[in-house]
Amino acid sequence: HSGGIQLCQYRAPKVIFGMKWDKKMDIHNLGSMIWDMYMGDYMFEVRGGPENSSANIYHFAHVVALFGALPVDFL
């Protein structure tokens, strides 16, 4: 699959970059929602709408800050 899915706060890196995605995006969403319920706030702060490229860059930078660099084969 390709194209935009997911709420901005739960958007997976593959979706941010417009890459092909699969059912693993549901696991990403579930993990994000569990975090939100436990912590009482979104894991990722979103600035702007889903098509805002600077918001996507900010979101991805936050992912890297929390979890470290993505594997080379991802890129």
Instruction: Tell me if 31 is assigned to some domain.
Output: yes
Helix, strand, coil share of the chain (percent; to 5): 55, 0, 45
Instruction: Tell me if 70 is assigned to some domain.
Output: yes
Q: Which two tokens stand for residue 34?
A: 């569990």
pTM exceeds 0.85? no
Rounded Cα–Cα distance for residues 64 and 47 (Å): 17
Instruction: Tell me if 25 is assigned to some domain.
Output: yes
Query: Looking at the 3D structure of the chain, how many domains does it have?
Result: 1
Instruction: Tell me if 1 is assigned to some domain.
Output: no
Q: What is the pLDDT of residues 3-42, one digit of tens each?
A: 667 777 788 888 878 888 888 888 888 888 899 899 998 8
Instruction: Tell me if 34 is assigned to some domain.
Output: yes
Average pLDDT, the chain: 80
Among the listed residues 20, 34, 25, 23, the one whose alpha carbon sits nearest the alpha carbon of residue 7: 25
The reported pLDDT for the residue numbered 39 is 92
Range of the domain at 35: 8-74
Contacts of 20 (CB under 8 A, 6+ apart): 1, 2, 14
Q: What is the pLDDT of residues 46-69, one digit of tens each?
A: 766 656 667 778 888 888 888 888
